[in-house]
A = this chain, B = another copy of it.
Amino acid sequence: MARIKDIAARAGVSVGTVDRVIHSRGSVAKEVEKKVKEAIEELGYKPNLAARSLAKRTDHRIAVVLPQHTKDEFWGNQTQGILRALDSCKNFGLRGDILSFNDQKKGELLKLTDSIFDGSYEALLIAPTVTGEATELMDRCESSGMPYVQINSFIERDGDSSLGYVGQDSYRSGQLGAKLLDFGISKGDQLGLLHMEYDVENSNHLVDKEAGFRNYLQHHGHHYTIYKRLSDIDDLKKIRYQINELLEEQPKLKGLFITTSRVHLICETLRMLNRDDIALVGFDIVKENIRALHNYKKLFLINQNPSLQGFYGVMRLFDHFLKNKSVTETMHLPLDIVTLENVSNHQYMQDRDNIALDKNEYD
């Protein structure tokens, strides 16, 4: 393994010069720089990350901005992945704080602005679920030259500070849901899509899911599909009432695509109505949905790998700071189809994205 010292010898200069070339610190004569770069090339030099992070005196601190978790699920999978990645990076000079905000209230995200930009952070990892406010934050990043990575939701923008997006491909998840339901029903049966969220228009991912769903069905001869929003999405009785109405109107309905993790409520409802012949596709491996998998045979969950989103999001910043490598491409994580038969493996993976990250001998 070639070291800086070897490069220096090869190029006939000192390690200091090589260092300046590697880090573009300037003050190097052009022909010398060329010689050094050739030496680097010829010897196939790759910096030793262990040594590099050891030699760096200062940590890189990043602010992680996430929506608050609901009480009953305090450690969201997203957070888990982030914490694990941070844990594995801490020996290599990357540290992060999680700043959470209430995404149901306006203005809560922007309240974090001061903390984020008070000088203690070098980068931002953000789940921009609240489009407007998140955009403001990212603009501020641009103007102050602070790199940022988006996870979970994506707001298209092209600034120099952007380090891209790591997250799900909602459009494809819509297609996937359509394919599954299409596969599971018989000729002549009808399909439907159900939004269970308050503010659908302002949630990019819901809009995209619907678009993907429509796209698939249009290309596969389903022209009479039902698209609906539940007005009340928490109260089981009201849900039952609405669903019952829907089923009476649409006797041929045999498959429903629920665009959020609330699908377990529909499982419960349909079981009460004795209509568990209806195939369901919903989202996310959460407690209630896992339970639903046990009770409801025709249920598939699409898992968006939340913990990997967090994990790779952090890793992108790791690459940026520790490897001098800035990835900006979109990284779409796999969409997993989860059933009772494979849910255990997925749970396991969510617990431990990387065994290398596990607590070590002195934990």
Are the C-beta atoms of A345 and B335 separated by less than 8 Å? yes
Are the C-beta atoms of B47 and A50 separated by less than 8 Å? no
A18-69 interface with B by 8 A CB criterion: 40, 44-51, 53-54
A162-194 interface with B by 8 A CB criterion: 169, 172-173, 175-176, 179-180, 183-184, 186
A268-295 interface with B by 8 A CB criterion: 279
Of listed A40, A180, A355, A360, residue having the most chain B CB within 10 A: A355
Q: Contacts A315-B355, A316-B355 given: A349-B327 contact, CB under 8 Å?
A: no
Chain B residues near A345: list those with CB within 8 A: 169, 172, 332-335
A203-236 interface with B by 8 A CB criterion: 216
Chain B residues near A155: list those with CB within 8 A: none
Q: Contacts A183-B184, A341-B175, A361-B324 given: A334-B355 contact, CB under 8 Å?
A: no
Query: Counting CB contacts under 8 A, is A100 at the interface?
Result: no
Query: Counting CB contacts under 8 A, is A240 at the interface?
Result: no
Chain B residues near A361: list those with CB within 8 A: 47, 323-325
A311 to chain B, nearest CB (A): 9
A48 to chain B, nearest CB (A): 5
Are the C-beta atoms of B45 and A355 separated by less than 8 Å? no
Q: What separation, in Å, do the CA atoms of A363 and B41 have in the docked complex? A: 9
Query: Counting CB contacts under 8 A, is A257 at the interface?
Result: no
Q: What separation, in Å, do the CA atoms of A340 and B44 have in the docked complex? A: 39
Q: What separation, in Å, do the CA atoms of A179 and B298 have in the docked complex? A: 9
Against B, the Cβ 8 Å flags (1 = close, 0 = not) of A336-359 are: 110111101110110000111010
Query: Counting CB contacts under 8 A, is A318 at the interface?
Result: yes
Are the C-beta atoms of A183 and B50 separated by less than 8 Å? no
Question: Which A residues have a C-beta under 8 Å from some C-beta of B?
Answer: 1, 40, 44-51, 53-54, 90-92, 169, 172-173, 175-176, 179-180, 183-184, 186, 216, 279, 298, 312, 315-316, 318-319, 323-325, 327, 331-337, 339-342, 344-346, 348-349, 354-356, 358, 360-363
Give the residue name and chain of the B residue nearest to A40 (CB).
B362
Chain B residues near A319: list those with CB within 8 A: 355-356, 358, 360
Q: Contacts A315-B355, A345-B334, A355-B315 given: A325-B360 contact, CB under 8 Å?
A: yes
Chain B residues near A339: list those with CB within 8 A: 176, 179-180
Give the residue name and chain of the B residue nearest to A48 (CB).
B91
**Identical copies of this chain, number:** 2
Are the C-beta atoms of A46 and B362 separated by less than 8 Å? yes
Q: Contacts A47-B362, A341-B216 given: A355-B336 contact, CB under 8 Å?
A: no
Q: Contacts A49-B50, A50-B50, A361-B324 given: A332-B356 contact, CB under 8 Å?
A: no
Are the C-beta atoms of A341 and B183 separated by less than 8 Å? no
Give the residue name and chain of the B residue nearest to A45 (CB).
B362
Q: What separation, in Å, do the CA atoms of A358 and B356 have in the docked complex? A: 17
Chain B residues near A51: list those with CB within 8 A: 50, 54, 91
Are the C-beta atoms of B176 and A341 separated by less than 8 Å? yes
In the complex, 7 of the A-B residue pairs with CB atoms within 8 angstroms, ordered by the A residue number, are A45-B362, A50-B50, A50-B92, A172-B341, A184-B184, A331-B348, A335-B341
Chain B residues near A327: list those with CB within 8 A: 355, 358
Chain B residues near A54: list those with CB within 8 A: 48, 50-51, 54
Please name 17 further chain A to chain B contacts, defined as beta carbons within 8 Å, in addition to the given A50-B92, A179-B339, A319-B355, sorted by A numbering: A50-B54, A51-B91, A172-B341, A172-B344, A176-B339, A176-B341, A180-B339, A183-B279, A186-B186, A315-B354, A315-B356, A319-B356, A319-B360, A325-B358, A336-B337, A337-B337, A354-B354
